[in-house]
Structure 1
Amino acid sequence: MASSQVIGTVPGYKFIKNRRAAVLAFPFNGGQGREGVELGGMHLIEHGILEQLKEMEWETSFEPNENIDTLRPNSDPDIEGLKKPRFVSSVTKKVAEQVSTAAKAGDFVVTLGGDHSLAMGTVSGVFEAYPDACLIWIDAHADINTPSTTDSGNMHGCPISFVMGIAGDIPEFAWIKKCLLPERLVYIGLRDVDPAEKKILKDYGIKAFSMHHVDKYGIGKVVDMALDHVNPNRDRPIHLSFDVDALDPSVAPSTGTPVRGGLTFREGHYICEALAETGLLVAADIMEVNPALEDEQAVFQTVQVGCSLTRCCLGETLL
């Protein structure tokens, strides 16, 4: 596969050309059924993430995408059981274009969701700029359902199947190129996986580390094994897509699909810190913060965690 990778000029970053974080917020909830997740990105902005990154000596650019609702079609009936497919398609195409542009410019791309269907766009955009990239997916859920396997029809459970090219032929999503090979994907933190998704993971030989593996090996070993699988020579750009429901609800309670038994505060941050230390990280998604759920303190706690995960991706360390 041909590569269009930029050669990094920022110390400690192999592929980043500018010490600039392109922060893209997408106030979008169309991939699932709960209101509020569209507010997540702006809550991180209001909590000061741009100022925090500037204090870390990153230049920042910011696109709020506040008019994204204009992409909502007048009519959006289900397609093969998928809910709001045209809205999801038009928004994620816009995401892909913005992410690709920022990545090709040599910026570090930070995408703030919004629900995880947005990853159809973030993955497409990152792999357009970095065809040799790999994807590390941090989530309680595999999000690899296809139109034929999803029970809910909510598209935040399907983005991986689309970018892998296994979702089937749906004209509304014809813009999505098959860009993700199974061997370039690894999961960490899974603990709520549908039976059909387990079969897909097995059939395609996709490497996945559940919470059982985190308990068994410890997070440090799991991250090393994950990198050994998708990036054995430590020479590929890394795209990190982090759903905050990967964290235990005691850590990040304000999210739409919480599942008990998740990553601890330190385990979640260790992942971001360790990937940043490789110098290979080029993009990070922080997804599924929902400020409409839980009380004010729980929302503050979750937003605070989202900001600190972002800072870790951009090089913040304990010492």
Structure 2
Amino acid sequence: MSDNKFLSTKTVSIVGVPFSGGQPRGGVEEGPLRLVEFGLLNQIQEMGWKVDYEGNNNISSLRPNQDPDVLNLKQPKYVSNVTHAVAKQIEERARQNKFVLTLGGDHSVALATVTGVFSVYPNACLIWVDAHADINTPATTDSGNIHGCPVSFLTGIAGSHPDFAWVKPLLKTNRLVYIGLRDVDAAEKKILRDYKIKAFSMHHVDRYGIGNIVEMALDHVNPKRDLPIHLTFDVDALDPSVAPSTGTPVRGGLTFREGHYICEALAETGLLVAADIMEVNPALESEMEVFQTIQVGCSLARCCLGESLL
């Protein structure tokens, strides 16, 4: 029996999404397999969970022959094909009352995770831990990389795009909170202000301390502590000294302990139903730094499932 308020069984469905199409740097598609090779499944089983694992290693077969830019976005058909397929898979696993742990891939995969989870838990809230807000729209993105845009689609702020008509605005802006922001585009700052989206930057973490920040975040999106929680954690939220092997590192991030505290505190609520560990890129940096980043990715995942210091 699980002590989770929404899950009746202690089963975790681990979904690997070896996908890099939402941004230009190769290697992030190797993240999920490296986390699994490091022993993540066994580690979680040793914590008393039953584990199902789907690696989705044939995902590249969804790449279209032609994929021109559409409305400024790069590889829109490939990103759409993959995220649409994975969204259905995640929805199915969540409907089976399993904890869904998704291993990315780049953060465009959140199109799939949030869609899948919120299809089953429509009143859920989303805690987005990241250096970046990922809320650019097709109109505001400078790079055209879709890993910087998923939140705008999930909230409906993006407007319509022919390749992403399937993405429904399941995420209400008052059910979204950011922790760890420190590299936010001017257009994104305006979106956060205009839509009154709650965001705690590293300045807030410094000012209030991580314990208070998690409470304040929950007070905003889950004031009665009775709604399901979905955590999506981009490892670039952590300082590069902690998790160097990621595509867009930014100095001045969360410490090792601050990152783990977020996962531990959310697991402690008994409300966490899904977690994403995103943007581990084993092709970047030295083998030692890759090992360090994979180790951190695994320990964050375990903390989401209830591992604690005592």
User: What's the TM-score once normalised by structure 1's chain length?
Assistant: 0.97
> C-alpha separation between the residues in 2 aligned to 1:240 and 1:270?
13
Q: Residue 288 of structure 1 corresponds to which residue in structure 2?
A: 279
Equivalent runs, 1:252-267 vs 2, <5 Å = 252-267=243-258
Specify the alignment match of 2:141 in structure 1: 150
1:90 correspondence with 2:52: no
1:129 aligned to which of 81, 102, 120: 120
- For structure 2, the residue ranges without an aligned partner over 5 or more in a row are none
Shift of 1:11: 3.4
> Which residue number corresponds to residue 225 of structure 2?
234
Shift of 1:191: 0.1
Q: CA deviation at 1:172?
A: 1.4
Aligned with residue 268 of structure 1, among 234, 244, 259 = 259
Q: Deviations over 1:75-123 (max 9, x none)?
A: 0000011000000001000111111111111000000000000000100
Matched, 1:140 2:142: no
1:76 aligns with 2:67: yes
Give 1:278's aligned residue: 269
Structure 1 Cα separation of the partners of residues 191 and 59 of structure 2: 33
Q: Does the CA-based 8 Å contact 2:2-2:10 persist in structure 1?
A: no
1:16 equivalenced with 2:15 (yes/no): no
The alpha carbon displacement at 1:198 in A equals: 0.2
What is the match of residue 203 of structure 2? 212
Quote the Cα distance in structure 2 between the aligned partners of 1:152 and 1:264: 28
| 1:233 positional shift | 0.3
> Which ranges of 4 or more aligned residues in structure 1 deviate by more than 3 Å?
none
Aligned to 2:216: 225
> Which residue of structure 1 lines up, in the alignment, with residue 58 of structure 2?
67
In structure 1, the gaps of 5 or more residues are: 1-9
User: What's the CA shift string for 1:254-293, capped at 9, x where partnerless?
Assistant: 0000000000000000000000000000000000000000
**Offset of residue 22 of structure 1:** 0.1
Q: What residue identity is the alignment partner of 1:182?
A: T
1:3 is matched with none
Shift of 1:221: 0.2
Q: Distance in 1 between matches of 2:77 and 2:2?
A: 42
The question of 1:29 aligning with 2:20 is answered: yes
Task: State how far apart, in whole Å, the 1-side matches of 2:297 and 2:288 are.
Answer: 14
User: Residue 160 of structure 2: which of 162, 165, 169 is its match?
Assistant: 169
The residue aligned with 1:5 is none
Q: Secondary structure at the match of 1:267?
A: helix
The one-letter amino acid of 1:249's match is P
Alignment of 1:103-122 (within 5 A): 103-122=94-113
The code of the aligned residue for 1:94 comes to A
Q: Contact between 2:229 and 2:272, CA under 8 Å: does it hold in 1?
A: yes
Structure 2 length-normalised TM: 0.99
String of CA shifts for 1:206-258, please: whole Å, max 9, x gaps: 00000000000000000000000000000000000000000000000000000
CA distance in 1, matches of 2:195, 2:158: 14
Deviations along 1:49-94, whole A, 9 cap, x unmatched?
Answer: 0000000010000000010001000000000110000000010001
Q: What's the counterpart of residue 6 of structure 1?
A: none
Tell me the distance in 2 between the aligned counterparts of 1:149 and 1:101: 33
Separation in structure 1 between the aligned mates of residue 300 and residue 85 of structure 2, nearest angstrom: 25
Take 1:282 and 1:29, find their aligned partners in 2: how far apart are those partners?
25
Report the AA paired with residue 174 of structure 2: E
Aligned residue pairs total 310
Deviation of the 1:166 alpha carbon: 1.4
How far did residue 169 of structure 1 move?
1.2
Q: CA RMSD for the aligned pairs?
A: 0.5
2:292 partner letter: Q
1:285 is matched by which residue type in structure 2? D
Residue 246 in structure 1 maps to residue 267 in structure 2: no
